[in-house]
Amino acid sequence: MSYSLHTLVPLPVMLPLFAAGLTLALWRFPRAQRVITVVTLSLMVAAAVGLLVGADGDPLVVNVGDWSAPVGIDLVADRLSALMLVVSSVMLLLVLLYSLGQGVSDDAADDEATPVSIYHPTYLVLAAGVSNAFLSGDLFNLYVGFEVLLAASYVLLTLGGTGERIRAGAIYVVVALLSSVVFLVAIALTYGATGTVNLAQLAERMPDVDPNVRLIIELLLLLAFGIKAAIFPLSAWLPDSYPTAPAPVTAVFAGLLTKVGVYAIIRTETLLFPDGRVDDVLMVLALLTMVVGILGAVAQDDIKRLLSFTLVSHIGYMVFGISLASEAGMAAAIFYVVHHITVQTTLFLVVGLVERRGGSTSLDRLGGLARVAPGLAVLFFVPAMNLAGIPPLSGFLGKVGLIEEGARQGTPLVWVLVVGSVVTSLLTLYALVKTWNKAFWQTAPAHLPEARLPAAMVGPAAALVALGLGITVFAGPLYAYAERAAATLMDGHTYVEAVFPDGAARGQGESDKGVKRDARIDPDDVVRSPTPEALPTGAPPTGAPPTGGAS
Amino acid sequence: MSGYLLAAGGDPATPDAGLSMTPSLALVLAIGVLFTTGVYLLLERSLTRVLIGFILIGNGANLLLLVAGGRAGGAPIVGITPVEQMSDPLVQAMVLTAIVITLGLTAFVLSMAYRSWQLHGHDEVQDDLEDRRIARIAAANQPSYEDTDTEESGSLDTEAPTVRDETSTLGRDDRRRRHPDGGRDE
């Protein structure tokens, strides 16, 4: 772990922000904008891959502005962050290339709807916001990351300001604003209860907070992230707003935005609330998300809307993995996130191609695409089967991981979830087979327009399909990485120790309970044992468990 | 940095030296009023009212953050104020950030409301598509269904058949033609 690796940590945030300013200044020169965006996102991929390698061990921590952690803001790249960064930056790059292909060749219709001069800066700001959310080691900075990516997403969703986008955007924006306020309230309560917003320090102090207050904070955070991740009772906004955006925008939203919410849930649940008091609630929500989402998908007759519902539904699998609250469950959830980002993005891009070729995404108007465009059929079929979880594709592997761990835990509720996830998988298959039959096999109800698919659009989509297959082929190393990431998450002290390598710095100047805090810094401290609730929380300082490391 | 932030609900035995963590009742009441009025406005149909509701709730959240930082004290500058009497500067920094974010988003939502007014002559948040489809089906089956949720006196069953539905089998071209840019919808 050298110094140079640490310098990589802020790059995924800084590079796109700088480039966003640059592209905005160069709004008159679309060609220069394109070059800058592609170069920046490529550098981001490179930096993320560097982090993936560098963080495979101890997390990399950078104190921004050289203010050490409890005072300053820190960026932390552990295995989970690095993995999410790699996947998201690759998605961002490929989707951008696709949208370039779309913009270049589609002159009148889509260029009018997607004014290029603000498309690139906004897209880069979105990239910066996503990276910031993944890297943030500070609850308030996480909020800022969310706001940055959400603000960019508002602009991207309402690009061009057409009637239907404004209609869909209004719902999306209002819901997102509300979730942001809930997040802010949760931050205020957290700060009031603990006196810090630094995640590592919060991990230290949360066990001392009154259990009821802690539960309120946990539920508020889950509410805020649940809206962003589109978990069932909070998911109604998603299928209505996503399909109206341009295909690349929908693809990148579907791939990344909900997963940022999932990431935030994983991070806070493992780091701040390892006592797992809401696991049963999460299980019920996961089940409802899966089943209700996929039933919505089955009822749809428009591919984009159908895919939006499968997106909601499959968030349930990730929540399932989180709610299992074990290393194996978490590893499966992380693997599933990686798989799902890739596959869902791919499918939305391919549907963009279908729309270009067939002139519509309505299943009632499409037909016979398998004969007319066999290549397109393959591009759709592979990720569709992957999403449905057909062996040996990566969706199958992720689901097997979840179900195995569920079966191992074997409580009645978990068994219900296992059955629910299998049913969801079958219904996903049903919905996608229906799509396949109607769009690709049945004879077209109307004559399909003559259209050629530009290679610049097909290329990135094909690359994504190949990447999805790559995740299947290299599932072994990837799953092993996810397992290591889960181990880091679940042990609870790696993250804290990385942020505070010198344990004594932790409680410094922050609290009257400095002595007690310092006691907790000791790695052998009972607090970090797997059952923190065994501690008498709220006990007077004198009643704190005696620890050898009290300084 | 000022300390003594650990009290609220935390360890009952925390020594409560220096500034009190007991929040001022006036601030708590103000937060309550801001949140209730904000939620009320947020449930309105008009985007402008929703926006005002969001601003009110946002301000309530900002006040809550301030309260979380403890009682107000002196300027948190070493050498001017004794450490025990300093305000907590961190919450103020966070509130400032939140205010800036709220400002930007307010501008965006305002422009969206204006665009909606340009297109439709009103800035109401329109129905979810699924709702419209269900309303149309309901209209076919049950013509007496009354809608009491919107301000218009009309009922959904008369509106649903006329409302624009993106999930209908109309092609993109049809929809484009019905929506000349900037033109009014109805």
Q: Where are the domains of chain A?
A: 11-273, 278-473
Total Cβ atoms within 10 A of residue A307 = 28
Measured CA to CA in angstroms, residue A371 lies from A367, A374, A450 at distances of: 9, 6, 14
Total Cβ atoms within 10 A of residue A524 = 11
> Does residue B72 sit in the same domain as residue B36?
yes
Contacts of B126 in chain A (CB under 8 A): 167, 170
In angstroms, the CA A252 to CA A57 distance is: 30
Answer whether B97 sits within 8 Å of A144, measured CB to CB. yes
Contacts of A189 in chain B (CB under 8 A): 64, 68
Size of interface A-B (CB pairs under 8 A): 171
The closest CB to that of A513, out of B6, B115, B166, belongs to B6
User: Is residue B14 in some structural domain?
Assistant: no
User: Is residue B78 in some structural domain?
Assistant: yes
Nearest to A483 by CA among A338, A344, A342: A338
Measured CA to CA in angstroms, residue A104 lies from A36, A114, A161 at distances of: 16, 12, 21
> Does residue B38 sit in the same domain as residue B111?
yes
Q: How far is B128 from chain A (nearest CA, A)?
A: 7
CB-count exposure of residue A543 (10 Å: 0-12, 13-18, 19+): exposed
Q: How far is B185 from chain A (nearest CA, A)?
A: 8
CA atoms in the 13 A half-sphere facing the CB of A135: 31
> Does residue B39 sit in the same domain as residue B95?
yes
* Nearest residue in B to A510, CA atom: B3
pLDDT along chain A (551 residues), means of 10: 72 92 86 89 92 86 79 87 93 90 54 66 93 92 94 88 82 91 93 88 88 92 93 86 85 91 92 87 93 90 89 93 90 93 92 84 79 85 90 89 90 91 93 88 75 82 90 90 90 84 52 36 37 38 37 32
> Does residue B142 sit in the same domain as residue B58?
no
Contacts of A300 in chain B (CB under 8 A): 167
Contacts of A208 in chain B (CB under 8 A): 6, 10-11
Look at residue A116 in the predicted model and tell me its pLDDT.
Answer: 65
Look at residue A538 in the predicted model and tell me its pLDDT.
Answer: 38
Task: List, for residues B123-180, the tens digit of each pLDDT value.
Answer: 887 777 777 777 777 777 754 444 444 444 333 444 444 444 444 444 444 444 444 4
Task: List, for residues B29-51, the tens digit of each pLDDT value.
Answer: 999 999 999 999 998 888 899 99
> Does residue B32 sit in the same domain as residue B104?
yes
Question: Which ipTM was obtained for this model?
Answer: 0.81
In angstroms, the CA A349 to CA A247 distance is: 6
Q: What CATH number should be reported for the domain holding residue B109?
A: 1.10.287
The closest CB to that of B112, out of A144, A147, A169, belongs to A169
The closest CB to that of B65, out of A191, A195, A213, belongs to A191
> Does residue B36 sit in the same domain as residue B115?
yes
Domain boundary pick from B103, B120, B137? B120
Q: How far is A174 from chain B (nearest CA, A)?
A: 8
User: Is residue B54 in some structural domain?
Assistant: yes
Sign of torsion over alpha carbons A23, A28, A30, A32: negative
Answer whether A213 sits within 8 Å of B3, measured CB to CB. no
Domain boundary pick from B70, B101, B120? B120
Q: Which domain holds residue B94?
A: 25-120
Answer whether B61 sits within 8 Å of A178, measured CB to CB. no
Contact A522, A503 (CB under 8 A): yes
Answer whether B108 sits within 8 Å of A155, measured CB to CB. yes
- Alpha helices (H) in A325-373, listed in sequence order: 327-358, 369-372
Residue labelled with tokens 């292909």: A101
> Does residue B105 sit in the same domain as residue B38?
yes
Nearest to A287 by CA among A389, A420, A164, A484: A420
Look at residue B142 in the predicted model and tell me its pLDDT.
Answer: 57
User: Is residue B72 in some structural domain?
Assistant: yes
DSSP state of A8: H
> Does residue B41 sit in the same domain as residue B82?
yes
> Does residue B88 sit in the same domain as residue B50?
yes
Look at residue B4 in the predicted model and tell me its pLDDT.
Answer: 38
> Does residue B66 sit in the same domain as residue B109?
yes
Total Cβ atoms within 10 A of residue A290 = 27
Answer whether A194 sits within 8 Å of B54, measured CB to CB. no
Residue A539: which H helix or E strand, with range? none
Q: How far is A300 from chain B (nearest CA, A)?
A: 9
Contacts of A185 in chain B (CB under 8 A): 61, 64
Residue labelled with tokens 């509720």: A413
Query: How large is the angle between the packed helices A412-435 and A303-324, nearest 10 degrees?
Result: 160
Nearest to A144 by CA among A170, A183, A91: A183
> Does residue B79 sit in the same domain as residue B141?
no
User: Is residue B15 in some structural domain?
Assistant: no
Both tokens assigned to A292: 């209700």
> Does residue B61 sit in the same domain as residue B140?
no
Nearest to A75 by CA among A125, A19, A5, A18: A5
Answer whether B169 sits within 8 Å of A365, measured CB to CB. yes
Q: How far is B71 from chain A (nearest CA, A)?
A: 11
Interface test with B, best of A154, A181, A516 (most B CBs within 10 A): A181
Answer whether B14 sits within 8 Å of A161, measured CB to CB. no
User: Is residue B7 in some structural domain?
Assistant: no
Write out the DSSP string of A87-127.
HHHHHHHHHHHHHHHHHHH-TTHHHHHS-HHHHHHHHHHHH
In angstroms, the CA B148 to CA B145 distance is: 10
Answer whether B112 sits within 8 Å of A540, measured CB to CB. no
Contacts of A167 in chain B (CB under 8 A): 116, 125-126
User: Is residue B13 in some structural domain?
Assistant: no
Look at residue B20 in the predicted model and tell me its pLDDT.
Answer: 54
The domain tally of chain B equals 2
User: Is residue B95 in some structural domain?
Assistant: yes
Nearest to A523 by CA among A484, A499, A542, A496: A496
